[in-house]
Amino acid sequence: MDQISKVWFGPLPPDSPYVRPFRFYYVQNGVEKNWDLLKVHDSVSIILFNKTRNSLVFVKQFRPAVYLGIISAEKDYDPNNIDVKKYPPNLGITLELCAGIVDKSKSMAEIAKEEVEEECGYNVPVERLEEILTYRSGVGASGALQTMFYCEVTDADKAASGGGVDDEIIEVVEYSLDEARNLLKQGSTINSPPSFLLGVLWFLTNKAPKS
Amino acid sequence: MDQISKVWFGPLPPDSPYVRPFRFYYVQNGVEKNWDLLKVHDSVSIILFNKTRNSLVFVKQFRPAVYLGIISAEKDYDPNNIDVKKYPPNLGITLELCAGIVDKSKSMAEIAKEEVEEECGYNVPVERLEEILTYRSGVGASGALQTMFYCEVTDADKAASGGGVDDEIIEVVEYSLDEARNLLKQGSTINSPPSFLLGVLWFLTNKAPKS
């Protein structure tokens, strides 16, 4: 998964379909203020629990924004050709819930069902997707909606290996309940978004089989 | 707080200190790919529990990115002058943990201590800030670190009214433990980031007084 041989970055082209930055202006109590932000897509995420194997199903992938967040804390790098020996790209590999953006006119649950199949290889009817919580994926630079689902699967639902579509490279991983509890141990640092930790803690609180 | 009389937006100026967008390029398994993203600041967030009042202390504020996320789901608006009667700005008011960005060369705990005082008015020694979890605030368009703290306060620690510094307008609110549990009820929609829900659930699981 982490066979990344070359890394560099440059200015955002004005026609980016993914990141559309704006300056937002408003007058609050008579004072003109502004805030720089960008529009991003709404999204879904899915807590996947395999009952046959008593394990949570997560995904790992290389996230350019996380990698850049890590190397930009350093002073010593060349944006035109980042030294991948000094800064191994696997620093940018995250552990996440199965997730996807809402870029089709389908229901959130239908998009969640598709992501479960595309990323993790489980083919489940849409009725098995249980809606949990809807919140803002961000509140600072972006403010799109994210809806979190819960879905129980068994080995019998496994239809394919998963791993993403087109040129996505996604690794499907399984965590036992003890391993999942360990992720939330006080003082931990994890290359995951807060929605991942929320999903794991929500599962352990509300759905985990009692041992 | 929500006395917002005029709202409009335009292109991001190239010298924005807050939002610096890039196109990131990489070669993965021999295939050149790119990802549009932006650098944002690392941050801290603080779960604040007032033991005297048995309540969680949160903040409410107008978040331009959330407001734009809501109105941009509509077709019928003029970016040069958004109709604030049709789209009331309080749609963009969020409920969050006390939080702040890391823009000074101080420790995460020191910055957390300052935010507790500036936003919520409690003056506590830095040793009272208990580090909980560190994660990536985002993994898609941005990938900065966020460290979450827990801090118990009493009414005796209250030194000021809070509300932010400079031209910040922040409302401090208190939630009982029952009200906090209610925020996490399955099927809820909330104008809050996932780190807020994580913090509330973490508190209820690990720190809430048993009733």
Domains of chain A: 41-207 (3.90.79.10)
| For residue A1, pLDDT beyond 60 | no
Least trusted range by pLDDT, from A156-165, A169-178, A192-201: A156-165
Share of chain A above pLDDT 90, in %: 67
Q: What pLDDT does residue B2 have?
A: 58
ipTM, interface predicted TM-score of the complex: 0.94
State the alpha helices, DSSP H only, in chain A.
Answer: 64-71, 108-120, 177-183, 194-206
A198: which strand partners? none
Confidence of residue A18 (pLDDT cuts 50, 70, 90): confident
Confidence of residue A2 (pLDDT cuts 50, 70, 90): low
Q: What pLDDT does residue A169 have?
A: 82
Closest residue in B to A99 (Cα–Cα): B140
Interface mutation target, options A139, A181, A183, A189, chain B, most CBs of B under 10 Å: A139
Within 8 A of A99 by CB-CB distance, chain B residues are: none
* Pairing status of strand A145-153 against strand A188-189: unpaired
The reply to whether residue A65 touches residue B138, judged by beta carbons under 8 angstroms, is yes
Q: What pLDDT does residue B114 have?
A: 96
| Average confidence (pLDDT) over A16-38 | 89
Cα B84 from chain centre: 24
Q: What pLDDT does residue B38 have?
A: 87
| Average confidence (pLDDT) over A181-185 | 97
pTM score: 0.94
Which portions of chain B are predicted below pLDDT 50?
A: none
Within 8 A of B18 by CB-CB distance, chain A residues are: 35-36, 141
Within 8 A of A92 by CB-CB distance, chain B residues are: 143
Q: What pLDDT does residue B79 have?
A: 86
| Average confidence (pLDDT) over A92-120 | 94
Q: What pLDDT does residue B211 have?
A: 66
- Residue B142: name the closest of A124, A107, A137, A188 by CA: A137
Q: What pLDDT does residue B191 have?
A: 96
Q: By the 8 A CB rule, do B95 and B196 touch?
A: yes
Q: What pLDDT does residue A24 have?
A: 94
Q: Which residue has the higher pLDDT, A162 or B151?
A: B151
Q: How far is A156 from chain B (nearest CA, A)?
A: 28
